[in-house]
Amino acid sequence: MPLRLLCLHGWGTNINILQSQLSALISDLHQDNTATFYLIEGEVDSVPGPGIEGFHEGPYYSYYHFPQPLSTPSEAATESLLHAYDRLYRVLAEDGPFDGLLGFSHGGTLAAGFLIHHAKLHPHSDPPVRCAVFINALPPFRMDAADPGSDPASDPVPVVDEDLHGYINIPTVSVGGAKDPLCRYSVALHRLCHSALATWVLHGRGHDVPRDRRDVALIAAAIRKLAVQVQVRVSMGCW
């Protein structure tokens, strides 16, 4: 049976954009029935994400108010994030079963935060999914928005949340871009995952989903390995 992956798009995009971004990877993994992909769209209206406007049509969405503010945390922002977690629970229950989550950028941050949130709330329960794929994603973080017209050198930077270690204990694939200015955060997310179950892939591009043959093959191979890990753990009665 193929992995069934619930897929989450980046900030300020939509499911049509994610479908386009993932098209080469989906095509590769469909060849041997390794995985199927189920995409859901964010519900929060958003400005287009970086590099999106002029190349992809809107409307544009996020899953919660993003980024979460650092210096002036708000109840509305927290409620928005918790609503996104509740929606994932609902989709998993109503449209599942799903084997795993796949998230690009903002979607990967949501997926990681959801897994950590669940593990903290239900420490003695099984994880909500069996595996996860994080593509150019950051750990849960907070960051103040840049002031209009400010010097880019002084722009705020992501501040990773505390108390995140030891909660992602399922097989994972973390993907980072060698030319992505945020790659160190993708590495940080990878290091939050159980070391014996975590696979790291470095592609040659920036903050996007690569579609060239070499990089797609690298990511696809890692997901095929992930599928085997899941099958082995199921056969061992881990779930």
Q: What's the number of domains the chain is made of?
A: 1
CATH code at 57? 3.40.50.1820
Q: Do the domain assignments include residue 149?
A: no
This prediction's pTM:
0.93
Residue range 66-105, pLDDT digits in tens: 888 887 777 888 999 999 999 999 999 999 999 999 999 9
What pLDDT does residue 148 have?
43
Q: Do the domain assignments include residue 151?
A: no
Q: Which residues pair with 129 in a beta bridge?
A: none
Say if CB 193 and CB 108 are below 8 A apart.
Answer: no
Catalytic residue check, 105 = yes
Active-site residue, selected from the candidate residues 105, 125, 150, 174: 105
Q: Do the domain assignments include residue 150?
A: no
Burial class (CB in 10 A: 0-12, 13-18, 19+), 55: exposed
For 42, half-sphere exposure in the C-beta direction (CA atoms, 13 angstrom radius) is 32
Strand runs (DSSP E) across the chain, as ranges? 3-8, 35-40, 44-45, 61-62, 100-104, 131-135, 141-142, 159-160, 172-177, 198-203
Two structure tokens written together for 5: 């992956």
State the residue range of the domain holding 167.
3-143+158-236
Q: Do the domain assignments include residue 177?
A: yes
Q: Do the domain assignments include residue 180?
A: yes
Residue type, 140: P
